[in-house]
Amino acid sequence: MFLNIIIHNYCFAIFPDHPNVKCYFGHGGLLGLSEGVYVGLPMVLMPMYGDQFHNSFAAANRGAAMVVSYNDLTEQSLRHALDEVFNNTRYNCFSLYFNPKIRNLFYTFL
Most confident of 21-25, 35-39, 62-66, 102-106: 62-66
Distance separating alpha carbons of residues 63 and 49, to the nearest angstrom: 21
Domain 24-109: state its class.
alpha beta
- Cα separation, 66 vs 72, in Å, equals 14
pLDDT tens across 3-53, in order?
666 666 655 555 667 777 788 888 999 888 888 887 888 899 999 999 999
